């Protein structure tokens, strides 16, 4: 159940990040409200994952890494932004770091 809440937190954060991009510096009301609700919702859902026993290091690292990777890819495909090979390598390192945290957490139990 903790991972379900973590997935919801990631999705909520993605919605908040995209809405922030669409808010034009918080000058557009609807995307601005969606951005704030998305980010607050992400933290609420993250707290539910933590309450159900997920470690904060693993939860936050997973949330942040998946969020960063997904927002970067959404930027490429939805907003025609560009990533360099170095940036793609950085994303791979972030994801590898989360995998290492997950594997380490499994060994700790």
- pLDDT tens string, the chain, 109 residues long: the values are 999 999 999 999 999 999 999 999 999 999 999 999 999 999 999 999 999 999 998 898 889 889 999 999 999 999 999 999 999 999 999 888 888 887 887 666 5
Check if the beta carbon of residue 82 is closer than 8 Å to that of residue 50: no
Q: What is the pLDDT of residue 22?
A: 97
Report the distance separating Cα 36 and Cα 38, nearest Å. Answer: 5
Check if the beta carbon of residue 69 is closer than 8 Å to that of residue 94: yes
CA–centroid distance for 90 within its chain: 16
What ranges do the domains of the chain cover?
2-108
Contacts for 60 with CB less than 8 Å, ≥ 6 apart: 46
Q: What is the pLDDT of residue 106?
A: 67
């Amino acid at each position: 159940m903790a991972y379900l809440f973590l997935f919801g937190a990631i999705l909520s954060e993605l919605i908040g990040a995209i809405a922030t991009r669409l808010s034009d510096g918080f000058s557009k009301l609807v995307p601005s409200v969606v951005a704030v609700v998305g980010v607050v919702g992400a933290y609420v859902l993250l707290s539910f994952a933590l309450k159900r026993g997920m470690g904060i290091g693993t939860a936050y690292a997973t949330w942040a890494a998946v969020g960063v990777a997904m927002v970067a890819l959404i930027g490429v495909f939805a907003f025609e932004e560009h990533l360099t090979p170095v940036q793609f390598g950085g994303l791979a390192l972030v994801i590898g770091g989360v995998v290492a945290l997950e594997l380490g957490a499994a060994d700790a139990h």
